[in-house]
A and B are shown apart, each in its own frame.
Chain A
């Protein structure tokens, strides 16, 4: 009797956990092949309703309202054996007009093979990923796309890659000291066009130290929704020699690419709620190629030479509000760009605040965010603006 009650209680608890705050649970169909192999298909989407107070009308300064898929993704997770697997993701985005710093005249859409890589879990201290995979330098870029603390990760934290922040290469990584320390080493394609001074690889090294519960995967979370106590500090460095020309027409001023970052993530559940605080600094350098007579476009712009940081904080209420959980968030960012849309030494301050309503954790989530983008130097084509976004996120 007692055993049965305990078993029932355990079953009830297990069942209940599925409906409390699942974070990475994705319940797509699983097809088994023999004893070891399987294929799981998952689907996740983020549908945006977004309004910006500029970008339309005869003079381009009337409000713009847009509805589009920020991410619309089909994922295939393959397990070949106990220690080997693969991952494939294809994604549709759009059709959208509202972008990070401007509103396009016509809607833009994309369809891509997003990720395609092989995983080998050889040992806790040594794992390999090879194929088309995430750039490993920046923490927030490696937080799951579907579990951010705020509406999305920083708009300005990306490094210069043209493959949707993914790259072809090999990542060796592992966890040490009982998963208190994690390292990542990557050799990837980086810049790869005929306009490059040399065909070089891009090398990345990242390490983090986690003081409470471990973050022992390659994908972080923007919030663990109170399921973990996390305090992690990390740093990374990236280098690609002879990445761009400062004068493409003359093929002179060969410039190296370097980038470094440091970051902190803290989240702690308490009886008063779950508190989250996180921030990072990133510096991207092209050896001042932007000063060349005809600089490579990759050394300027949003992902060109720049430095900046973000800070974000969140508070998850301890009890449900209605059928779901309510989480408040705010974030602040400050970035300086060597040359952004032909404005030299441009500075952007970005501030946003909002709330998440998690009906089934990250599997069904509503987010509303208000954001202000402030340009230090305004021109006739560059003006401050406000953006309001409502997001529906669902995962299967």
Chain B
């Protein structure tokens, strides 16, 4: 035994070292976990009860890593002024008011309204709202007409914008049923009192990632249409019948001011992108009659029902859904539903107001016939009904140059994401190497 120990001294010492090291590290080496903000532990869709709990706990516009910011996304200021959840801040959307959530931007070829915010504009918005990295954002809306599902698209568009700019999903909430649900559950709680917050210095560049893969550009959609991006399914959220999708003429109005003498203009053609399917976005919601007096508000259907709606058109979780509508607002309700469920989804931001405009001169559009960005080709569009054959007096085909400059031969149809990715990567956050500083 002595000789064995002497001859194998090194091995025995090694075993001894391991015998000391392993238990010490495994038992004493755990300093313990860390606290987690309560507001990050819920699903994206929250109930009025959850939000009321946060209000009562003082988290709304509070301090600390569990602070909550309620953003009331509203088309009309008057709706907000009439009554909103205490502590809410107004974010304007859409027509009727200058919009906090849109910009006119060139997706390469042609200008588009209702495009996702650029980096500097997004930073200005979040700084004005006092948002920082430890803020949980709740999207809701004060509705002018209660029970309207169309109010949802304001909120889901805001959700998409913040997801695109890299805000983590666990920091973004949608109040299911919006202000109508909150008011039904807590009568008399809505207020007209205005809240002010201190601006922050936070930037989207500090977010852990950039969500460019949640947004589909013109270039992406052409690749999907032509089949060079596989495992993809295009879904038009406006429904399949009596719609642009089935080629019903004059369904998609223009987005820029009309030319002189034109009262209503339309895109060059209706139809659908090659391979696209369609569902009606209203089918994602169900009515709630809170007090037995008729529909009070709408909420998203249960996840299983929503999965069935998408499943009916052939979508499965492993396939990427490319959702669109006319300007990317209705489609944002589809985007939010799929993103919340953890399915793969991209929002075609410019939607049919862009796709339907990109017709050649020979078909009543404004692009040169040899422009590589024409979408009025059998390889790219599965059904085409050209509106110039159905115009009445005072109607016309929208001229995209009314919104800015047209680049018919642009080398890319992805300029917005390229620009935004460069903006994000120029920061000190996760856009860079993300590595530890030690070498």
Chain A positions near chain B (C-beta within 8 angstroms)? 58-60, 71, 91, 93, 96, 99-102, 104-106, 108, 114, 135, 141, 145, 155-159, 161-165, 229, 231, 247-250, 252, 264, 266, 268-270, 272, 275, 277-279, 281, 283, 288, 290-295, 297, 302-303, 305, 307-309, 311, 313, 334, 336-339, 341-345, 347, 379-381
Which residues from A are CB-within-8-Å of B208?
341-342, 381
Question: Would you call B21 and A277 a contact (CB within 8 A)?
Answer: yes
Question: Would you call B132 and A293 a contact (CB within 8 A)?
Answer: yes
| CB nearest neighbor in A for B21 | A279
* Distance A379 CA – B198 CA, assembled complex (angstroms): 31
| Contact A336:B31 (CB < 8 A) given known A59-B344, A145-B439 | yes
| Contact A294:B10 (CB < 8 A) given known A100-B436, A311-B21 | no
Binds A, one of B35-43, B79-87, B387-395: B35-43
Question: Would you call A344 and B64 a contact (CB within 8 A)?
Answer: no
Question: Would you call A295 and B134 a contact (CB within 8 A)?
Answer: yes
Question: Would you call A293 and B134 a contact (CB within 8 A)?
Answer: yes
Q: 6 closest Cβ contacts across the A-B interface?
A: A165-B438, A307-B31, A270-B10, A158-B438, A275-B14, A266-B17
Task: Pick the contact of A60: B29, B213, B229 (CB < 8 A).
Answer: B213
* Distance A252 CA – B63 CA, assembled complex (angstroms): 10
Question: Would you call A308 and B29 a contact (CB within 8 A)?
Answer: yes
Q: How many A-B residue pairs have CB under 8 A?
A: 189
Task: Pick the contact of A165: B24, B29, B36, B437 (CB < 8 A).
Answer: B437
Which residues from A are CB-within-8-Å of B202?
249, 294
Report if B264 contacts A (CB, 8 A).
no
In whole Å, how far is B114's beta carbon from the nearest beta carbon of chain A? 25
Which residues from B are CB-within-8-Å of A105?
421, 425, 431
Report if B65 contacts A (CB, 8 A).
yes
Which residues from B are CB-within-8-Å of A99?
433-435
Task: Pick the contact of A344: B20, B35, B135, B435 (CB < 8 A).
Answer: B35
| Contact A302:B9 (CB < 8 A) given known A283-B31, A294-B133, A342-B171 | no
Which residues from B are CB-within-8-Å of A283?
31
Question: Would you call B13 and A231 a contact (CB within 8 A)?
Answer: yes
| Contact A249:B132 (CB < 8 A) given known A165-B438, A268-B10 | yes
Task: Pick the contact of B200: A277, A294, A303 (CB < 8 A).
Answer: A294
Question: Would you call B439 and A380 a contact (CB within 8 A)?
Answer: no
| CB nearest neighbor in B for A252 | B63
| CB nearest neighbor in B for A311 | B25
> Chain B binding site: helix, strand, loop or mixed by DSSP?
loop
Which residues from A are CB-within-8-Å of B35?
288, 291, 344-345
Determine which residue in B25, B168, B198 has the highest number of CB atoms from chain A within 10 A of its CB, and name it: B25
| Contact A344:B437 (CB < 8 A) given known A264-B21, A269-B10, A281-B25 | no
Determine which residue in A294, A302, A347 has the highest number of CB atoms from chain B within 10 A of its CB, and name it: A294
Listed A/B pairs (5) with beta-carbon separation below 8 Å: A106-B425, A266-B13, A293-B64, A302-B436, A379-B169
Question: Would you call A293 and B34 a contact (CB within 8 A)?
Answer: no
Which residues from A are CB-within-8-Å of B206?
297
Which residues from B are CB-within-8-Å of A278?
21
Question: Would you call A305 and B433 a contact (CB within 8 A)?
Answer: no
Task: Pick the contact of A295: B14, B29, B133 (CB < 8 A).
Answer: B133
* Distance A308 CA – B25 CA, assembled complex (angstroms): 9
In whole Å, how far is B17's beta carbon from the nearest beta carbon of chain A? 4
In whole Å, how far is A105's beta carbon from the nearest beta carbon of chain B? 7
* Residues 23-60 (chain B) with a chain A CB within 8 angstroms: 24-25, 28-37, 40
Report if B258 contacts A (CB, 8 A).
no
* Distance A159 CA – B10 CA, assembled complex (angstroms): 34
Bitwise, B417-439 to A at CB < 8 A (1) or not (0) is 00001000100111111111111
